[in-house]
Structure 1
């Protein structure tokens, strides 16, 4: 979303960053109404999703998905080419992806159907992206089941591993373009949000159950790449 590879696509095709983001990431849903995209991209304001999706219609979804995947692959080759372990990461993650249920995870299902590249760095990173879509969907389901509004869920937690070092709930809400001002979540909302994280982890663990304990430990060690941008 913020890589130089994604920016190059935006420049070439005359797209805004969020236009390419939604058309590329969510294009696996097909050429649909923006409400369908909002149903999957739960943590963004629906008005922002609609504006970005509609403004990006000049790029057909099939091509948008191809370009999004190609940007992912190019980033992977730039960052991970020559790193040991990419082939093994891809081997282990592919088993997890194949084991996971697509129920309640439309973007995961769509991206799982996208063909994988042949080289290890690109293959590993595309599989990481596919699993990120799985976790994102399961997390959204857990948030909704807990009766939390997506904005409240965003505000009521710290966020690790997010772009440009943005960690606080307010920073992420602003990044997602939720209108301000933001209410401070109370203790009950914070507690429900913490429980949602545990639920998400439990749901996600089912997909990883295909790996042995030794393979899980191996995967964790192999994935200690640090923050690569």
Structure 2
């Protein structure tokens, strides 16, 4: 399989499977059992806790696609519950638990883990701090299914960080990208207050940003052989199957 064919095959399944974890009530329940109140505290503190005790403005700058009010409220609400690094570890544990409940049992997760780690190790972390933080998060070797889910999340963070960079290079804001992708009404669910429609003339910029994102990820997938890319795409689709 060619590099860009593989990227195209795995990008959406990796994104959507990670989204399913983030939006699952079971994930929210893990946060509440750890002491977080209902809302975005566990999500913000857990996902962005790999950045350490950063000011909320720094967290907002790193993630880019969520509205400032959502990030501010969630990050500050979670701060009294536990330190950032502990929250990130708790979130990683929730990832692995969710993976054990949702990854199909007949998938060769060991082979997936080998190929996924090869991609993760190959990545250049320059200008990708959220990905760098998640790559540094410990991943236990005695839980292959949970580790597979954590690696899905790490790869998702790599594409997300690349995409934010690409969006800005193409002259769009994170809010504009979310409105183009989701529409005005859905963008409000991600924390953007009173978002406005984006002019049709700006939509091609997001299409170019998607191309740039693929190009930024090409270095990773070049580290696999054609056969390995075919195997990786097959495994991703098997792992994330409904």
Distance in structure 2 (CA, Å) of the matches to 1:143 and 1:65: 26
2:206 corresponding residue in structure 1: 193
Q: TM-score, normalised to structure 1's length?
A: 0.89
Aligned 8 A contact 2:167 2:174 in 1: yes
* Structure 2: gaps spanning 5 or more residues: 1-21
Q: What secondary structure is seen at the aligned counterpart in 2 of 1:70?
A: helix
Corresponding position: 1:222 with 2:235: yes
2:73 corresponding residue in structure 1: 51
Corresponding position: 1:154 with 2:178: yes
Deviation track 1:140-199 (CA, whole Å, cap 9, x = no partner) reads 001111111111111223xxxxxxxxxx3335412212112532x223211111111111
Distance in structure 2 (CA, Å) of the matches to 1:208 and 1:22: 29
Aligned 8 A contact 1:100 1:207 in 2: yes
RMSD: 1.6
1:145 corresponding residue in structure 2: 169
Distance in structure 2 (CA, Å) of the matches to 1:121 and 1:171: 36
Q: What secondary structure is seen at the aligned counterpart in 1 of 2:23?
A: coil
1:80 corresponding residue in structure 2: 103
1:169 corresponding residue in structure 2: 183
Distance in structure 2 (CA, Å) of the matches to 1:32 and 1:191: 34
Higher relative contact order (CA 8 A, sep 6+): 2
* Structure 1: gaps spanning 5 or more residues: 158-167
Matches within 5 A, 1:9-158: 9-12=30-33, 13-58=35-80, 59-80=82-103, 82-118=105-141, 119-157=143-181
Q: How many residues align?
A: 217
More deviation in 6-15 or 132-141? 6-15
